[in-house]
Amino acid sequence: MDYLIPLKPPYDASRRVEARVNKYSVINIDQNKYSVPDYLVGKFVKVKIYPDIIKIYYKDNKIAEHKRSYQSHYWSVDINHFIHTLKKKPGALHSSVGRHQLSPELQEIYQEYYTSNPRDFIELLELIKEKDLESVLKAVEELKEIKKELVTTDNIKNIIFKLPTGNKSLGNKDISIQNASIKQIKILNEMFNLKPTGGMKIE
């Protein structure tokens, strides 16, 4: 061991700069804008610029990563960075740059079910961050098969949190829990769509 040459530290082929987060919660790198979490407005962050990606750090913690753009005046925005701001102004979601950079699946869900309820969509984004997009898309499909109007964030949560994720070999018990959740939603849907018949009194 005494004769071995010490290992060299890992080589980091990045250009490093410091940038200030502007009022729009983005930093400017080579004439392009990259978003960071909105609680960092006015703060200075450290940036590692690689040929393909941009990594952004605050107090030595990585808080954002973007694919590097070689265009000019391009905005790379992660809508999750604006959750705090959007909660205060949910109406701003419809015209936000971040919404237009969502995945095609989320774009479709927003247009189909959430244009009149952006606050609920913001909660859905938080749910995706907590769980995963695949679970949300699956829950949306299950609800849509029952009735389109049932696609709400609350109903999606009800399905997801009763179905464990990350386990492909679900047991009978897990499947029965999921089926019970769907059954409950179906029953509620039928109840609220019942029409009173002769002799029935609804209070």
The angle subtended at Cα 65 by Cα 61 and Cα 68, nearest 5°, is 140
pLDDT at residue 185, as a whole number: 61
What's the pLDDT tens digit per position in 133-167?
899 999 999 999 988 889 999 999 988 887 544 44
pLDDT at 128 > cutoff 60: yes
| Three-state secondary structure readout of 82-97 | HHHHHHHCHHHHCCCC
d(CA 161, CA 110): 21
What's the pLDDT tens digit per position in 77-109?
888 888 888 888 887 777 777 777 788 898 899
Write down the pTM of the prediction: 0.63
Name the residue with higher pLDDT: 182 or 69.
69
pLDDT at residue 191, as a whole number: 52
Residue type (1 letter), 153: T
Structural contact between residues 75 and 32, judged by C-beta atoms closer than 8 angstroms = yes
pLDDT mean across residues, the chain: 80
Q: What percent of the chain has pLDDT over 90?
A: 41
Residue type (1 letter), 110: Y
Pairing of strands 15-20, 32-35: unpaired
Nearest CA to 133 out of 68, 176, 85, 80 is that of 80
User: Is residue 136 classed exposed, middle or buried when 0-12, 13-18 and 19+ CB atoms within 10 A define those classes?
Assistant: buried
Phi, psi of 47 (to 5 degrees): -125, 135
pLDDT at residue 166, as a whole number: 43
